[in-house]
Amino acid sequence: MRLFQLNTRLLLNTKPLHNICVYKRLYNTGLLRKTSTLPDKVGLCLSKEQVSTDKDSDLIEARRPGDIVQVPGSTYGGQYDLKWSQKPNNVLIVKKPNDIKTEKAFIEVANWLHQSQPDMNIIVEPEVAEQFQKELPFVHVIEKSHKEDYTRTVDFAVTLGGDGTMLHLSSLFPKAAPPVVSFSLGTLCFLMSYKFERFRHVLDDMIAGKVGLMMRMRLFCSLHQPNGKRIEINGVEVDDRQAMNEVTLHRGRFPHLTTIDCFVDEQYLTECVADGLIVCTPTGSTAYSLSAGGPIVHPSVQSLVLTPICPRSLSFRTVLLPPSSNIELKIGEQSRSQTEVSIDGQEIFMLHKGEYVKVRMSKYPIPCVTHISDGAGWEKDINELLKWNQTFGSNIH
């Protein structure tokens, strides 16, 4: 069995479905009943907070006016100003599971939005609607088999929890992701911009289009057999994935080091003999890669970070690659066991000799609401949350 599931989400690929229906869950019946299809998301436009140059924009227009698409080569490190073409209709709320504090916050936010914005459709995941069907009978759900409807309908998303909640939200959008406003209710909350107590003010600004966005780059990942075809599970091809933090190859529970042949733009780079190898985004540079000795990279700097995990060679160091790079990581013939592949730590696949992973910059970033003007940007985060460059006695009074 190639696949180990860390959660209950189905990983099987499904063909596109037409005439998709969205459902509303009614608390008095406990059943899903068809309602009218949710409207498409509204259009938006983004503008830079500083004067534009003559260079091509790092954001390009997509087929739908609400899609945010990014191309390699941007050197713009500031934030974008969001403007809606009309008032947004649909909001997705994603919460941290199995946490009492987050559950209370979720109910409070959902009820407040429903009362203050009665025309707005509130979307939650099916299992969340099941759990709160009595408290929140007005929410909408999108079936797991209709995952593409998240991209079609969601104007903006709200996350309640920690960094893992943000990574889970990223997995719901295999293509264009909406603007995301995040509230910290987790452990570290490096990716969460706001304290929960401010949610009313922040969401009012979000709906009014008075917020700034930072484009957090994602990775596009595909899994291949030695013949180049997509890896299959039970006869069904594994879908391509988007990673916000990293794609990790690791020996897992097997005792021997794994051997990985690394190629960049079809050119052989090196043979990695190690516990594993990480390809991460600038956002992911402060996660697993940092623990493995990788550098801290500003989230606005487009790059792919290649970091070994406990390599056999002491001279094997992290490599930063340009965003246009196409990386191929193939399980070497010298490997004595299977190799685990995880995407943002949420899904695990098994690769055999000759099978490989392709990784490149995704054209679909995660647009994260920021409040840099409040003095709460990346620089503050690495100092206060990561305790960057602090001496051992700095907290002693």
**Active centre residues (catalytic):** 163
CA distance linking residue 340 with residue 349, whole number of Å: 6
Any residues with CB less than 8 A from the CB of 132 and at least 6 apart, and which?
103, 106, 107, 110, 124, 139
CA distance linking residue 291 with residue 227, whole number of Å: 35
CB 326 within 8 A of CB 360: yes
CA distance linking residue 253 with residue 144, whole number of Å: 31
Label residue 348 exposed, middle or buried (CB < 10 Å: 0-12, 13-18, 19+). middle
Number of Cα atoms under 13 Å in the Cβ half of residue 15: 1
CA distance linking residue 316 with residue 21, whole number of Å: 52
Any residues with CB less than 8 A from the CB of 288 and at least 6 apart, and which?
245, 246, 248, 278, 280, 345
CA distance linking residue 61 with residue 68, whole number of Å: 7
Torsion sign, CA atoms 146, 152, 157, 163: positive
Beta-bridged to residue 82, according to DSSP, are 46
Tally the residues of the chain. 397
For 352, phi then psi, to 5°, come to -105, 175
Any residues with CB less than 8 A from the CB of 388 and at least 6 apart, and which?
296, 382
What residue type is 218 in one-letter code? Answer: R
Any residues with CB less than 8 A from the CB of 68 and at least 6 apart, and which?
44, 46, 59, 62, 176, 177, 178, 179, 215, 364, 365, 367
CB 171 within 8 A of CB 192: no
